[in-house]
Structure 1
Amino acid sequence: MAGRGGVLMTADGEIEDLDADAAGRRIARDLPLVVCMPTVARRLGIRRFAAHDLLELFAFVRPARFCLPTLDGLARAVGLAPAGKPPDPARLPEIAEVLLAELSELGGEARTRAASLAQAMADGGWPWAAPVLKALGEGGSKSRFRGLDAWTRVPEFPDMAPPPPPGSAAVEPVEAADRLRAMLGTGAEEREAQRRYAEGAAHAFRPRDHVDEPRIVLAEAGTGTGKTLGYVAPASVWAEKNGGAVWISTYTRNLQRQLDQELDRLYPDPKLKAERAVIRKGRENYLCLLNFMEAVQGGAARRADIVPLALVARWIEATRDGDLAGGDFPSWLTLLFGSERTTGLADRRGECVFSACEHYRKCFIEVARKKSERAEIVVANHALVLARAVQLRAEESVARRYVFDEGHHLLDAADSAFSAELSGLEAAELRRWIRGAEDGARGRARGLTRRIADLIVGDDDATAALDRVTHAARVLPGFDWLTRLKGENPAGPTEAFLTRLRQQVMARSAGPDNPYGLECETAPPVPGLPEAAQTLVQALDEIRKPLVGLKSALAARLDEETDELPTGERVRLEAAINGIEYRCEAVLGAWMSMLGGVGGPPAEGFVDWFSVRRIAGREVDVGFHRHVVDPTGPFAETVLKPAHGAVITSASLRDRSGDGDDWSTAEARTGLAHMVAPAVRLSVPSPFDYGENTRIFVVGDVRRDRPDEIAAAYRELFFASGGGGLGLFTAIRRLRNVHERLLEPLENAGLPLYAQHVDPMDTSTLVDIFRAETDSCLLGTDAVRDGVDVPGESLRLIVFDRVPWPRPDILHKARRKAFGARRYDDMLVRLRLKQAYGRLLRRAGDRGVFVMLDPMLPSRLCDAFPPEVEIRRVGIAEAVEGVRTFFGVPEASGKSA
């Protein structure tokens, strides 16, 4: 495609340039050969259409193999040269030929299974079925599910005794340095900063001397230090010496994937790595085999479901660990087929029946959990680590040793983990957890009765309690609850309370017609709200009391039959107890506490507010929120204090204000201010010469309220750098406005443009594409600002639309008051700017320019940047010329012909 048109190659090889309308007409008439049909349709401005999508063929031929969802990405994956600029459409049939030829080489059982699935997919109307069956050249098996029953071919994991507790041997600095040298390999140039970092991090792997006083290293390591291998070195030595696992936690799944790739240096043998390193995520990230089986049994007869289920079946047989989010599952399959038959097959609602499931011994989640008990390195994320601390009993949730990478995000992760939300969606989810699917609703929901009824057989009191819980849950929102709230026609006490809450938000929030979220303070309440809250407290207590009884009955059985319970049944009992306890305390208990204070001030140390959540103007939820003003306190109490040692590290821990290097800021944001023993502070500067290799421009003559001027500035800056531009925005609306104005001129100039919140792909895929295409440009918001690791020329220019001031919502105002007013705001902005600027140089040889389009950037915030870099305040024309000169791009380069 070029801009809003397309390039088409006919069956006889003729090349045609078509505008969007002509391309749309041809597509509707034929079954074209394309890459990523939804993206093609969106860029042409037409509806989705039937096509031979090469991504579907790739997923069938090479399941669980990585491929970027672009023409060049596919070409590289199959060993062909890139398609060029403009792209050569002849590459499309060449890719198809390579994949079909590869398929024809399958033999034995693999060939039979592939043919069986292809026959099923032919019945589902798959355009590729005929050429695939021809390549396979045989009919396949006649099994009941025609190859869709992939669950029958997943191996079971063996039973093993629990491992002994780890030892307490210390890691000496010299051991960490030696391990680092071994991972880097013979002949590698030793970096002094990286060695010093590894030796300093070793302190966290010494035995602690007092309860609640772990050995902690707070380490700020500048970009390019090589901190990942720096902390993996002492962590791996400790794991080997003590027979335990070190949990390495990152902020995002994308960073987990990057860390997993780095571990290849520690474990070059894939088999050894599979044994000793495990990726752990929340269970909602893994495919549930029971969900998949039920989807096949119920959905295989539905023609539209066969193709996506068959492609998932191919993936199940090839996947490393069943990870649907950030693992080896192609994220673009969700783009092609939607979430219900792809990522929606995970257990997202806590409905697992554990050992009662016929697939329990094959379960991807259980395999990951079992493997992590014997692993040396467990790569997790902050959300999972904190969720384990909140949801599980202490002895099960605590690891001896942690490494928290991207430690500047610990406050954000703790804020999510230790908050409470009573909303329509959350309450409806609790009803579903208890009662399962209701009123003939389609779905795989398994209620509490199905999950635990067989565990309480013969216990009349427990059975009666289960019945009371199931009946009492009817007070929670049922089907179509949001329509009733908006019509002020509530059914039951929960909807009655939320209706009054919504009334208060709509009456008191600024701009009730705002297409985005609305909020207001909880006091003073509108008439009838306190009474509705008290009625709801009583109704929730009618759920909580029998749940407590159920938990007691299950715990009693676990205690009384401890010497005779099979392992699987013990696991189910423990999981049921933990799940019920979490919902009694962290959910129902928190809700009842919040409701009890409606009309008065929030409890000390908390901030409360009401909200109406909207997405693009559409109302989606109504809620009552409670957050801890300082969530690092409970983080320190539940995670850090029980641990024996931890490394907390990032390139952006300290806030370097005019007063000097502020370690107190780093300690406050990571929970260390709540610890008794002080942390060891470690600072390792970046080896990069920022003064030589970067430039910073602050543009003063682009009006912030003129979308045309902002878009023109982005366009000319991207032209001046020849692409490789990352555009950062503080608001999705402005991003979309600029994207609409940039798409055609940039693509006409041969600079592909991608955008978060516009392109129907997940952020990780967009970043992968941006990384692979040297001259493409990417627009994004804070998730891109903090999660992009793009070394080399693919990212050479960053343009920020505005100073990233924190949103002045109720939560921020409470924290601002508690943590220093303007100083707190300034600290947040400096850290965000530091993160954004830090994307420019990722390895030796990188060069880059940072442009701020907001003239209102105060000088006091410029401490976010290295002091050796001159900050030039200029007009847009001078900034464009400065970018062009820095990169040596000719003046006409980039502009359309």
Structure 2
Amino acid sequence: MPQIPSFDSSGSAGAGGPFLPDAAAMVPSRARGGGAIAVSADGEIEELGPEEALRRIEREPVMLVHAGFTARRIARGRQFREPGPHILDLMELFAFVHPAQTCLPTPEGLARALGIEAGETPEDQALMLREAAAQMLATLQNLALPDRPSAARTAYRMAEGGWAWGPGVVAALRDALGREGKPPGSRGFDIWNELPEWEERGPRPPAGSMPVSEAEARAQLALLAGDDAERRTGQADFAGAASLAFAPRDAAGAPNVVIAEAGTGIGKTIGYIAPASLWAARNKGTVWLSTYTKNLQRQLDQELSRLYPDPAEKAEKAVIRKGRENYLCMLNFAELADRAAMGGGAVAIGLVARWAKASRDGDMVGGDFPAWLAARLGGVTGRTGLTDRRGECVYTACPYYKKCFIERAIRKARRAEIVVANHALVMRQAALDQAMGPVAHRPVKAAEAAGNAEDEAPSGREALARFVFDEGHHIFDAADGAFSATLSGLETAELRRWIRGAEGQRGRRGRGIEERVGDLIAEDKLAEEALAAALSAAAALPAPGWTARIHDGAPRGAGEKFLALVRQQVHARAEDNDSPFSLEAETMPPVPGLMEAAAALDDALKRLAAPLQLIADRLRARLDDEAEDLDTSTRIRMDAAARGLDRRVRILIPSWRSMLASLNAATPEAFVDWFSVERLYGREIDMGMHRHWRDPTIPFADAVLEPAHGVLITSATLRDRLVEEAEDDEGWETAEIRTGASHLAVPARRAFMASPFDYEKQVRIFVVRDVSRTDINQVASAYRELFRAAGGGALGLFTAIHRLRAVHERIVTPLEEAGLELYAQHVDALDTATLVDIFRAERHACLLGTDAVRDGVDVPGDSLRMIVFDRVPWPRPDILHKARREQFGKARYDDMLTRLRLKQAFGRLIRRATDRGVFIALDARLPTRLTSAFPRGVTVHRVGLAEAIDESRRFLSGGEAELAPAKATP
């Protein structure tokens, strides 16, 4: 049994500092084969082999930084048990002492966050961990520390729940617990009593229409950049072009749309903030800045501090806005806190409590919530159990409604000048607005239908009239997700749960429709009968345990029987059933029985929709009939419930029924249908039918662009330049097709600003011609030696996760023996954003990743000096791609997508005028026609691996390459 850590509770600041545990501090060593360096409480330094280090972690209290992550690095591929609750994780202590503050989960990151020296060697770092622990425990004794009584109560409950740091933290805060030395009653996690309430404010008047001139935009840019900033002609030109999107609209349906490709290094973020902020302040309106990645949202938040240097003003005028599934739900938290107080998950809930009190906005996904803590929540409920992603909100019936993070963000966004959102949120709102209108055939996912339109964005089209879509090259993919539909097991089971609740599942909270609206329709006989009918009809949808029953060949109900036959057809028609990856198949011709099963499911959905609609109608009738008597709280609940029902009846169910009907007729020409079996690590997790637009920019243009007054769409990778196109004004057709601008009645304005970098001097591009792409050992060897040649600062990009893992397994030990830390998406127990942050902070680190890393990395300076692609990033040849390929130009469409991916990846390499970088493709099949993805004038050298290694080392060390002349990129 693991030992319980002992603490010095004397309060003296002896050699170890106050309340420091009698435990060793441990960090991974750099020895061959793994292991660790440990420093005992007496200062004795030991070098441990991996087996001994893992044994101690398993049995003894040990100080680690991010226990699971560190144990993996010590193990170096060996089997080990996840560290237990006896481990003293310094990330937990930091999150308690400094909640909602940034700290990378590494020794260097911890030292940087605390303002102490990390040291160069593992021995130094292990010693530093003890210093860090002592400093944080001493901080808790500081009487000026905010909320010490609240912190003490929370720590006490966490200690009761077995927190390894608990005894020392409680001892440091004991004076704040009062005479009793413990919290009164069950207090400790009840942070809702200490959160401020939001207040309703009157509606904002419509925004004005006064324009922003190019000269004004340039002047505002200069003001924001500051007197000491370098004057960039391209950035000023970009700001001037962006101002055209803020001109007044001359006719309905004719927005001012500007498509601007601004090369890397232009500084487009502040370039469009300049005219956007002027327009918003001048017209008392709101501009929505939409991004695709969380990384850019964070960058925008930082840039807005230039516009609003006063934090109070920034909090009022600039808001980061996301879907409600990103925010902490106080009702969910309170229920889990009650459970934790009785002995379940007290440590994780306590850390969430500390964070929630200090959080800027309650955003658990990409905000100030510690990303590493999400894994810690897995033993409690997972992060999703603390957010409202199931459409269960009871609004004013919730006792925490006036303190709700989501409601606060919604109201702030209604009055803000700048709202930083994401493409998914903006398009989801637009999809709902469209689907709730006269056009009912547009496919919308259940997640979108479950969302509350009032929750997702300000009501009224006027509030969504001015947009900037940064990372505009992702509009096609974002629209593809927003305007699609899925009739699957998970989606239909979710609708059943929304109607019938958790149905007795232990440990799952689920408020069914009866709990949400039962009291609102009491004594309304028609509505009560409809509720009973809806509960009965929903039984035809997949019930808990549906996956096991389908796998066992014993489906129950219309929904499960349809899914079972879909699964049968996919397995019968798929080419490789033994593959661990997801499978798909055409919908036609159907296997025997599928048509009958589809008809039965369609009938069940029809019988479900009628009573749901009746309940919505009766709620609205009561709103009308009792307008004089209903209190505000009840009106809000009734209106929200009616709209939630409407969305399912008018959007979700008709979308599914339309898909089922096409099995007996034909898929509408604008759409693509197919069946799939979704797998995760070889295990089947879902199955069903999908419907996507062939061209998703059609509904995007219809729902977002046409109703808007002005839209700026910008990116560094909008145009696809072909080899034979020699002028910089070519490639716009691709940009307009991918952004939806080609569907507008009035042509979009175009603007191009080239990168200011001297790529001929700053970059070398190599295509390695003698590495077999099918031999993973050769590929791994190439990565290992290229990363060594670069001395770190290298990013490895992969087109498949299984190859990434295989390469990681082969190169992690030799790289770390060479002093190069290797991190990997899909391997390390950290989210992508945190991995990128660590990579950015450590000059000699290397990182392996896939698409999310390729598109989300912003690493200026020396921390990224080499990019290695394992293969040409061709698009995946699935059913949807096959249909789009036919529509958009066949082989030319494939080339376009691949060039844009190469162009996006290359754009990560050079971010400053002083950067140097090497771009390497380990695929000799890279055709010349794709090299137009790279900047003009840069030579693409096709060389052997040895030559690429040697020349990369020479170039990155400051020397000039000695390669024979080769043809430059046209």
Is 1:320 the equivalent of 2:365? no
Deviates more, 1:3-12 or 1:271-280: 3-12
> What is the aligned counterpart of 1:603 among 665, 668, 672?
668
> What is the aligned counterpart of 1:571 among 636, 644, 653?
636
Deviations 1:854-877 (A, max 9, x none): 000000000000011100000000
Q: 1:570 to 1:246 in 2, by over 3 A?
A: farther
Deviations 1:454-498 (A, max 9, x none): 333343222222221122111111111001111111000000001
Structure 2 gap segments, 5+ residues each: 1-27, 438-458, 960-970
Residue matched to 2:514:
449
Deviates more, 1:464-473 or 1:761-770: 464-473
1:73 counterpart letter in structure 2: G
Q: 1:216 to 1:691 in 2, by over 3 A?
A: same
> What is the aligned counterpart of 1:48 among 78, 82, 95?
82
Contact 1:353 1:572 in 2 (8 A): yes
| Deviation of the 1:604 alpha carbon | 1.3
Deviations 1:627-664 (A, max 9, x none): 11001000111111111111000000000112432111
Instruction: Report the Cα distance in structure 2 between the residues aligned to 1:403 and 1:772, rounded to whole angstroms.
Output: 30
Deviates more, 1:568-577 or 1:646-655: 568-577
Structure 1 gap segments, 5+ residues each: 891-897
Deviations 1:33-64 (A, max 9, x none): 10011112223131112311000100110001
Contact 2:58 2:81 in 1 (8 A): no
Q: 1:659 to 1:353 in 2, by over 3 A?
A: farther
Q: TM-score, normalised by structure 1?
A: 0.97
| Deviation of the 1:7 alpha carbon | 1.3
Is 1:425 the equivalent of 2:490? yes
1:29 counterpart letter in structure 2: R
2:364 counterpart letter in structure 1: L
Q: 1:689 to 1:371 in 2, by over 3 A?
A: same
Deviations 1:552-608 (A, max 9, x none): 223334445556654444433343233222222332111111111215532211111
Contact 2:139 2:145 in 1 (8 A): no
Deviates more, 1:321-330 or 1:592-601: 592-601
1:822 counterpart letter in structure 2: A
Residue matched to 1:190:
231
Deviates more, 1:112-121 or 1:569-578: 569-578
Residue matched to 1:756:
825
Residue matched to 1:642:
707
Q: 1:423 to 1:292 in 2, by over 3 A?
A: same
Instruction: Report the Cα distance in structure 2 between the residues aligned to 1:12 and 1:508, rounded to whole angstroms.
Output: 66
Deviations 1:267-295 (A, max 9, x none): 11111100000000010000000001111
Give secondary structure in 1 for the equivalent of 2:862. coil
Q: 1:821 to 1:331 in 2, by over 3 A?
A: same
Residue matched to 1:103:
140
Percentage of identical aligned residues = 55
Residue matched to 1:284:
325
Instruction: Report the Cα distance in structure 1 between the residues aligned to 2:625 and 2:476, rounded to whole angstroms.
Output: 42
CA RMSD across the alignment: 1.6
Residue matched to 2:60:
30
Give secondary structure in 1 for the equivalent of 2:861. coil
Instruction: Report the Cα distance in structure 2 between the residues aligned to 1:107 and 1:311, rounded to whole angstroms.
Output: 21
Q: 1:290 to 1:759 in 2, by over 3 A?
A: same
> What is the aligned counterpart of 2:369 among 312, 329, 352?
329
Give secondary structure in 2 for the equivalent of 1:489. coil
1:537 counterpart letter in structure 2: D
Instruction: Report the Cα distance in structure 1 between the residues aligned to 2:767 and 2:687, rounded to whole angstroms.
Output: 41
| Deviation of the 1:547 alpha carbon | 1.5
1:556 counterpart letter in structure 2: A
Is 1:235 the equivalent of 2:276? yes
Residue matched to 2:465:
400
Is 1:668 the equivalent of 2:737? yes
Instruction: Report the Cα distance in structure 2 between the residues aligned to 1:824 and 1:542, rounded to whole angstroms.
Output: 44
Contact 2:37 2:122 in 1 (8 A): no
2:788 counterpart letter in structure 1: F
2:35 counterpart letter in structure 1: G
Instruction: Report the Cα distance in structure 2 between the residues aligned to 1:150 and 1:600, rounded to whole angstroms.
Output: 56
Give secondary structure in 2 for the equivalent of 1:56. helix
Q: 1:254 to 1:467 in 2, by over 3 A?
A: farther
Written as runs of structure 1 = structure 2, the 5 A alignment for 1:747-826 is: 747-826=816-895
Contact 2:148 2:176 in 1 (8 A): no
Instruction: Report the Cα distance in structure 2 between the residues aligned to 1:87 and 1:216, rounded to whole angstroms.
Output: 58
Contact 2:329 2:405 in 1 (8 A): yes
| Deviation of the 1:146 alpha carbon | 2.7
> What is the aligned counterpart of 1:702 among 771, 778, 781?
771
Deviates more, 1:267-276 or 1:83-92: 83-92
Instruction: Report the Cα distance in structure 2 between the residues aligned to 1:571 and 1:844, rounded to whole angstroms.
Output: 55
Instruction: Report the Cα distance in structure 2 between the residues aligned to 1:564 and 1:655, rounded to whole angstroms.
Output: 62
Instruction: Report the Cα distance in structure 2 between the residues aligned to 1:52 and 1:816, rounded to whole angstroms.
Output: 54
Give secondary structure in 1 for the equivalent of 2:169. helix
Instruction: Report the Cα distance in structure 2 between the residues aligned to 1:647 and 1:560, rounded to whole angstroms.
Output: 46
Deviations 1:410-453 (A, max 9, x none): 11011011111111111111111111111243222111122222
Q: 1:462 to 1:788 in 2, by over 3 A?
A: same
Is 1:307 the equivalent of 2:347? yes
Instruction: Report the Cα distance in structure 1 between the residues aligned to 2:523 and 2:166, rounded to whole angstroms.
Output: 54
Is 1:687 the equivalent of 2:761? no
2:106 counterpart letter in structure 1: T
Written as runs of structure 1 = structure 2, the 5 A alignment for 1:79-94 is: 79-86=115-122, 88=124, 89-94=126-131
Residue matched to 1:369:
410
Q: 1:215 to 1:109 in 2, by over 3 A?
A: closer
Q: 1:94 to 1:108 in 2, by over 3 A?
A: closer
| Deviation of the 1:545 alpha carbon | 1.2
> What is the aligned counterpart of 2:810 among 741, 748, 752?
741
Deviations 1:144-164 (A, max 9, x none): 333210111110011211111
Instruction: Report the Cα distance in structure 2 between the residues aligned to 1:566 and 1:80, rounded to whole angstroms.
Output: 57
Instruction: Report the Cα distance in structure 1 between the residues aligned to 2:155 and 2:926, rounded to whole angstroms.
Output: 59
Instruction: Report the Cα distance in structure 2 between the residues aligned to 1:751 and 1:564, rounded to whole angstroms.
Output: 70
Q: 1:342 to 1:817 in 2, by over 3 A?
A: closer
Written as runs of structure 1 = structure 2, the 5 A alignment for 1:266-665 is: 266-302=307-343, 304-338=344-378, 340=381, 342-392=383-433, 396=460, 399-561=464-626, 565-660=630-725, 661-665=730-734
Instruction: Report the Cα distance in structure 2 between the residues aligned to 1:677 and 1:566, rounded to whole angstroms.
Output: 48
Give secondary structure in 2 for the equivalent of 1:350. coil
| Deviation of the 1:191 alpha carbon | 1.1
Is 1:870 the equivalent of 2:939? yes
Residue matched to 1:847:
916
Instruction: Report the Cα distance in structure 2 between the residues aligned to 1:839 and 1:81, rounded to whole angstroms.
Output: 30
| Deviation of the 1:136 alpha carbon | 1.9
Q: 1:53 to 1:711 in 2, by over 3 A?
A: same
| Deviation of the 1:190 alpha carbon | 1.9
| Deviation of the 1:189 alpha carbon | 2.6
Contact 1:516 1:617 in 2 (8 A): yes
Give secondary structure in 1 for the equivalent of 2:713. strand
Instruction: Report the Cα distance in structure 1 between the residues aligned to 2:942 and 2:334, rounded to whole angstroms.
Output: 61
Q: 1:588 to 1:658 in 2, by over 3 A?
A: same
Give secondary structure in 2 for the equivalent of 1:189. coil
| Deviation of the 1:749 alpha carbon | 1.0
Is 1:68 the equivalent of 2:68? no
Contact 1:524 1:600 in 2 (8 A): no
| Deviation of the 1:10 alpha carbon | 2.2
Q: 1:716 to 1:599 in 2, by over 3 A?
A: farther
Q: TM-score, normalised by structure 2?
A: 0.90
List 4+ stretches of structure 1 deviating above 6 A: none
